[in-house]
Chains A and B, each alone.
Chain A
Amino acid sequence: MVVGEMPSSVDLLVIGGGPGGYVAAIAAAQLGRQVVLVDADGEAGLGGVCVNVGCIPSKALIGLAHATHDISGWGKRGLKVSGQPTVDMKEFQAWKSEVVGGLNGGVRQLLKTAGVEVRQGFFRFTRKDQGVLEFGEAPPTHIQFKNCIIATGSRPTVIPGLPRDGKRILDSSDVLALDLLPKSIAVVGGGYIGVELGTALAQLGSKVIMIEAAERLLPALPSTLVAPVTRRLGELGVDVRVNTKVVSDDGKSLIVTSDGTESEIDADYVVVAIGRTPNTDDIGLEVIGIKPNARGILEVGPDLLVTPKIAAIGDITPGPALAHKASAEAHVAAEVLSGHDAKFDPTAIPAVVFSDPEIAMTGFTVEEAKEAGYQAQAAMFPMAASGRAYTLGEKTGFAQLVHTPEGVVLGAQIVGPHASEYIAEVTLAIEMGANLQDLADTIHPHPSMSETLPEAARVGLGFPIHVSPKRQRNT
């Protein structure tokens, strides 16, 4: 050991203050551990990408976009607004900062109450039980830990040839921080982040061009769920270019290629939203003897351990890169490292796309269930038959339950208003091993979107009330 390298001793170290890291820190503190959390952005980084530059700001923007767009819809239902509604993005940013600041402050307070110490700096392993924390010009400090939870998250994936400059070429976080509304913007990547941003900006009045390399938007989702969203994007005037790849950008136009033909797309801004890259490449993992796979993911088992003393959670482990999955893993990692036998073993992880209409999924699709060895079938209830959807002016979409011949619920796919708010009911049903009869016989409030679930369950049971009985699907 070199002089000046005298490490401070930490019982349990958490690297990263996102929805994985801060939850792990509090959970570990509740288990009696002395916890230090390090984050490159210090207290300002608490809540991670999610709170500060991801889920939360994007939902704020989508809220504004929906309200703006709804005015035109309600215009045919009695709402009269004099003149064209306008959007003040500066004021929006001020409000968004309040929202983000409030949540970030809340996490600070929660950590403080739990007795978790937060230190600012970029952490890198230097030994199996040690690492260095570097922050700006300050002399690096060394930390020795008994246990460590790696929760470093992910960052936007960069396209070579289209590097972010923060001015014209943006990443998703930059877009959410814009204090003016782009006249035109090209969204590169038709995954859920691209679709959410593209929809919101189009509803706010931007000219949006969406570019996706695959043959359709949201290629990872079943096409039946995506069709209503693609149709809606068309109605919003979004120019959707599928089977299209980005070649380069000349500062004014984006050069793309489709079927071997190059063309130019004029847009004031370009946002690259092609996915996220795990932050596992620059934290000295080789020192602790572990190597991420080709996609940068740390292959962990249900105990989430990468070594007997170190666990990994969140976007850097297998599974969907979603905040709620990271938080769920956080509890398990804290318990496992504190000597409890625990497993990350969910039956279903829900996922939501805040598109228009919203898409929400949990558990298996029919195809996935069959692949997993179940005799699965689906029961579908259309939004067109939902009274609540009608009053919201929305007739597109459906709620679909995937189930076994005995009726055990294996999954659900919902497209329609507020889908994100009630997908959790099906997740609970799956986790509890509930069957169609359980859902059908649970009284749901009327009128509500959640009623579509017992209705779909009755379709599966063969005795639906509000649709004809022939809606069972085997594919």
Chain B
Amino acid sequence: MSNLIDYKLADVGEGIAEAEVIEWLVAVGDAVKEDQPVVVVETDKSQIEIPAPVTGIVKALGAKVGDVLAVGSNLMQIEATGKVSNDIASHGSAPAAEAKQTVTSVATPARATNVRPLASPSTRKLAASLGISLDAVSGSGPNGRITAEDVTNAKPGGNFAAPSIAQADGNGVTLIQLRGLRRQIATSMSEALRIPHITEFKEIDATALMGLRSELAPQFEKDGIKFSVTPLLMRACVIALQNHPSFNARFDSEMGEIRQYDDINLGFATATEDGLIVPVMRKVNDFTVAILAKQTEQLAELAKTRKATSDQLGGGTFTVTNFGSFGTWLGTPIIRPPEVAIAGFGRIAEKVIPVDGVPAVRMVLPIVVAADHRINDGAHLGAFVSDIAKLLLNPESLVK
């Protein structure tokens, strides 16, 4: 029996029809092991590493870097040398590998020994009807069982269909019943109040940063991307987080457990008509500012139009927020539980500061980071903020 397998691009996620080949991690003739990443593709949601379906030899690659492949088209041909499951051998089609071609999300602790999410048939039906993958929902029931309520709360964008209801009583008082997003924000902010925040501020000379932005902007605009300073600020946070993993974490106070993550899933606060939404970019550790810019723009648009899925709104490990766009100087950001820190950036404005001992007018960026004091102390936070500041003062390192 010939063991030549046509490996096809599987459905990489809800509603995604195509993916762009970003990088081949193997070449023709290479030996690959089952589950070894072979190619990086990028969808409009995220970058995904696709693993080899079997152990074998790469015989052909189905696309060049930059090609956009439709779901179902040939990705590569592999000659299997190991055991081949019937599913892959007889059809060479992707479904067998489908489960592997998913974006890794932050693991839910309760699910450690429950491979299939625990949920009753009626809850599964509800999730299917809402287009929600149970893999992306954490269960609040016994043994991590997912309840119907867990699914409703994980609904893409929450209950946005239900706006807050305002009713004037004729005596000058308008009663507003919180619904949907507003109620969710109210709940999560109350939850955040239980976190003892420690907050540190710093102002930095943003001259070099603004210079770099002006230098890069034309290239990005050529590609149709509006380039603000935000992706540079995000990149600085990402690099600093890799040196300070205690800020890239989630805290379960009931269990008394902190989970630090190798992968950074970066949320960014986005103002929408109905309220604040925080889309999350996954595994951004090695994202260039270009990718950060592109994904931020796309996700923000999805958030504003309520099209972001639960996958795109959950699983964050750190959040950034931008106060500058409101025209105010700076604010005190509030941590999104179960995350343990949040960075905020204020308005970049001219200010008189001492330069080499003389007063000078410079562009100044105020930065702030709030952290959960149960996890990190002032010293830790100071070091983290200083690292971000250093990176922003020498911004070339952000685009290396």
Q: Which residues of B contact A372 (CB under 8 A)?
A: 115-116
What's the Cα separation between A301 and B141 when bound, in Å? 28
A34 on the B face (CB < 8 A): no
Looking at the complex, which one of A293, A375, A404 makes contact with B90 (CB distance below 8 Å)?
A293
Interface size on B, residues (CB 8 A): 22
B124 touches A343 (CB 8 A): yes
Q: Which residues of A contact B95 (CB under 8 A)?
A: 299, 301
Q: Which of A301, A341, A345 contacts B131 (CB 8 A)?
A: A341
Q: Is the CB of A342 within 8 A of B129?
A: yes
Partner of B113, one of A341, A347, A405: A405
Residues of B within 8 A of A299 (CB): 91, 93, 95
Instruction: Say if the beta carbon of B130 comes within 8 Å of chain A.
Output: yes
Q: Does B174 contact A (CB under 8 A)?
A: no
Cβ contacts under 8 Å, A342 to chain B: 125, 128-129
Q: Residue A11 at the B interface, CB < 8 A?
A: no
Q: From the candidates A293, A343, A375, A432, name the one contacting B91 in the complex (CB within 8 A).
A: A293
Tally of A-B residue pairs with Cβ under 8 A? Answer: 54
Give B127's nearest chain A residue, CB to CB.
Answer: A343
User: Taking A408-B114, A408-B143 as contacts, is the C-beta distance between A345 and B130 under 8 angstroms?
Assistant: no
Interface readout for A213-228 with B: 1 if CB under 8 Å, 0 if not?
A: 0000000000000000
- Rounded to whole Å, the gap between the CB of A325 and the closest CB of chain B is 14
A457 CB to nearest chain B CB (Å): 15
Q: Name the residue on B nearest A299 (C-beta).
A: B91
Q: Kindly identify, within residues 300 to 336 of chain B, every residue whose CB is under 8 Å from any CB belonging to chain A.
A: none
A408 to B118, CA, bound (A): 9
Is A433 an interface residue when CB atoms closer than 8 A count as contact? yes
Determine the chain A residues whose CB is within 8 A of the CB of B119 once the complex forms. 433
Q: Does B121 contact A (CB under 8 A)?
A: yes
Residue pair A343, B128 in contact (C-beta under 8 Å): yes
For residue B177, CB closer than 8 A to chain A, the reply is no
Give chain A nearest CB distance to B126 CB in angstroms.
10
Contacts of A433 in B (CB 8 A): 118-120, 141-143, 145
Which residue of B has the minimal Cβ distance to A328? B121
A431 and B121 in contact, given A341-B130, A345-B128 (Cβ under 8 angstroms):
yes
CB of A465 closer than 8 Å to a CB of B: no
Convert A278-292 into 0s and 1s, putting 1 for each residue whose CB lies closer than 8 angstroms to a CB of B: 000000000000000
In Å, the complex CA distance between A341 and B121 comes to 14
Min CB distance, A316 to chain B, in Å?
16
Cβ A345 vs Cβ B115 within 8 A: no
- Please determine whether A404 and B120 come into contact, CB atoms closer than 8 angstroms: no
Given A347-B116, A404-B113, A433-B141, A341-B129 contact (CB < 8 Å) = yes
A411 to B332, CA, bound (A): 52
Closest chain B residue to A302, Cβ basis: B128
What is the bound-complex CA distance between A375 and B118, given in angstroms? 15
Cβ of A3 within 8 Å of any chain B Cβ, yes or no, is no
A-side contacts of B114, CB under 8 Å: 374, 404, 408
- Do residues A294 and B90 form an inter-chain contact, with CB atoms below 8 A? yes
A239 within 8 A of B: no
Question: Is there a chain B Cβ closer than 8 Å to A340's Cβ?
Answer: yes
Taking chain A's interface residues, is the majority helix, strand, or loop, or is none over half, making it mixed? Answer: loop
Interface size class of A (residues with CB under 8 A): 20 to 34
The CA of A243 and the CA of B22, in the complex, are separated in Å by: 54
Please determine whether B113 and A340 come into contact, CB atoms closer than 8 angstroms: no
CA distance A372 to B99 in the complex (A): 13
Contact bitstring B81-117, A, C-beta under 8 A = 1, else 0: 0000000001101010000000000000000011110
What is the minimal beta-carbon distance from A204 to any residue of chain B, in angstroms? 39
Residues of B within 8 A of A432 (CB): 120
Within 8 A of B (CB), among A120-142: none
Chain A residues contacting B90 (CB-CB under 8 Å) are 293-294
Partner of B129, one of A340, A405, A406: A340
Interface string of A362-391 (1 = CB under 8 A from B): 000000000011110000000000000000
Closest CB in chain B relative to A259 CB, distance in Å: 27
How many angstroms from the CA of A347 to the CA of B124 in the assembled complex?
10
Taken together as a complex, chains A and B put the C-alpha atoms of A299 and B94 apart, in Å, by 12
> Which residues from chain A contact B142 at a C-beta distance below 8 Å?
433, 435
**Is the CB–CB distance between B113 and A406 below 8 Å?**
yes
Smallest Cβ-Cβ distance to A295: which chain B residue = B90
Considering only CB atoms, which chain B residue lies closest to A405 in the complex? Answer: B113
Determine the residue in chain A with the shortest Cβ distance to B120.
Answer: A432
B161 to chain A, nearest CB (A): 16
A333 to chain B, nearest CB (A): 13
User: Which of A342, A346, A375, A433 has the most chain B CB within a 10 Å cutoff?
Assistant: A433
Q: Return the chain A residue nearest B93 by Cβ.
A: A299
Tell me the complex Cα distance, A342–B130, Å. Answer: 9
Query: Given the known A-B contacts A293-B90, A301-B95, A404-B113, are A345 and B143 also in contact in the complex, defined by CB atoms under 8 Å?
Result: no
Min C-beta distance of B2 to chain A, whole Å: 14
Chain A: minimal CB distance from B354 (Å)? 61
B113, B116, B128, B145, most chain A CB atoms within 10 A: B128
What residues of A have a CB within 8 angstroms of the CB of B131 in the complex? 341
Q: Cβ of A345 and Cβ of B91 under 8 Å apart?
A: no
- List residues 154-188 of chain B with CB under 8 A from any CB of chain A: none
Complex-state Cα separation, A132 to B264, whole angstroms: 58
Contact B129 A431 (CB under 8 A): no
A294-B90, A299-B91 given; A431·B130 CB < 8 A: no
In the bound complex, how far is the Cα of B130 from the Cα of A404, in angstroms? 30
Given the contacts A299-B95, A345-B124, A435 and B143 also touching, CB distance less than 8 Å:
yes
| Residues of chain B within 8 A of A373, CB atoms compared | 115
User: B130 contacts which chain A residues (CB < 8 A)?
Assistant: 341
Q: Is A431 touching B115 in the complex (CB atoms < 8 A)?
A: no
A341→B156 CA distance, assembly (Å): 15
Q: In the bound complex, what is the Cα–Cα distance between A340 and B128 (angstroms)?
A: 9
Chain B residues within an 8 Å CB radius of A294:
90
27 A-B pairs within 8 Å (CB atoms) are namely A293-B90, A293-B91, A294-B90, A299-B93, A340-B129, A341-B129, A341-B130, A342-B128, A342-B129, A343-B124, A345-B124, A346-B121, A404-B113, A404-B114, A404-B143, A405-B113, A406-B113, A406-B143, A408-B113, A408-B118, A408-B143, A431-B121, A433-B118, A433-B119, A433-B143, A435-B142, A435-B143
List 14 additional contacts besides A341-B129, A347-B121, A433-B118; criterion CB under 8 Å: A299-B91, A299-B95, A302-B128, A341-B128, A341-B130, A341-B131, A342-B129, A345-B128, A374-B114, A404-B113, A404-B143, A431-B120, A431-B121, A435-B142
Binding site for A on B (CB under 8 A): 90-91, 93, 95, 113-116, 118-121, 124-125, 128-131, 141-143, 145
Top 9 A-B pairs, shortest CB-CB distance? A433-B118, A433-B145, A343-B128, A373-B115, A341-B129, A432-B120, A404-B113, A408-B143, A431-B121
